[in-house]
Structure 1
């Protein structure tokens, strides 16, 4: 059964498990390994030049409020670098200096450098998604994201988008639903 996505705008959405060519390798492997919600994920090809959220929403008619962004954050504690991913609605920004810093238990948290995030995730910058992140990374999911019935997120590459439920994101290994992670 093919799901109908109300947020798809002009996208041509197909089941993600059938179009792994539109996914970064770690994303395809992670979706295949999911026990719950796997069949709920859709994928749609897009122009890689339009991968950034605002440009994507404008070009494809998908609502900004239904897009969620994944940011990779790092911090150090006792010489150890700790990483986490944060999923927040595109209409908010991740509370790095309070919520994420406390969750990572570090003195200072900041966005991981682009080259480092790309290398560690095996995904393209602008397409990083929580599906398929390195094992052991906490995935902090804002409560509003977890409760969303439909979301557009990265697919691991700039040339496509994943359509998923917040429940799928909240069920990922290492995921933790966090209240007030996204700030307006």
Structure 2
């Protein structure tokens, strides 16, 4: 069964693993059936993977788009990472909420190279589905209350659509009030 979001036609993600980065396909296949059934994927132009360009080109609104960013910090010589999911209309509170959650003196967005290497995903397509299992996954409560959201697929050439509430069921997920500002 096909669903549409704006002008994008989606298909069940598990039937189109060719549109998912390898760690995303593996993680999606391991989801409980009731959650996996709600994960859909749409192919897009990879040049339009950035949120603003994608929403404009495909007739979506920013309030149904979520971003996953990788934040890093160092403590006692150990690099610590977290995946952070917020609505596209907000910004991650890196300096307060994420820094405290990682228990580091300073937190910042991970460099493009380290984010790609650590996740096995393409920059501009990083998604919470399939992040390393030992990372905390911080999900802003507003995302879980947003209904269906559009997020990366691990590749720049596709997007996932799924209920925001299902992100709270991902491994390592923690719903955080005020993560997005």
State if a TM-score over 0.5 links the two structures: yes
Task: Give me the whole-angstrom Cα distance separating, in 2, the residues matched to 1:91 and 1:126.
Answer: 17
Could you tell me which of 37, 46, 55 is aligned with 1:57? 55
Q: Cα offset for 1:3?
A: 6.4
How many residues end up aligned between the 2 structures?
180
Alignment of 1:182 with 2:175, yes or no, is no
Shift of 1:126: 0.1
Partner of 2:169: 171
Structure 1 gap segments, 5+ residues each: none
- Residue aligned with 2:116, SS: helix
Per-residue CA shift, 1:53-103, capped at 9, x if unaligned? 000000000111100000000001111110001000000000000000000
TM-score by length of structure 2 reads 0.97
- Structure 2 regions of 5+ residues with no counterpart? none
Question: Pairwise CA RMSD of aligned residues?
Answer: 0.9
Q: 1:3 to 1:173 in 2, by over 3 A?
A: farther
Retained in 2: the 8 A contact 1:87–1:142?
yes
Aligned to 1:71: 69
Partner of 2:12: 15
Displacement after TM superposition at 1:18 (Å)? 0.3
TM-superposed deviation, 1:12: 1.3
Contact 2:3 2:11 in 1 (8 A): no
Distance 2:179 2:114 in 1: 23
Cα distance in 2 between the residues matched to 1:108 and 1:57: 32
Partner of 1:47: 45
User: How far does residue 173 in structure 1 lie from its aligned partner after superposition?
Assistant: 0.3
Tell me what 1:29 maps to: 26
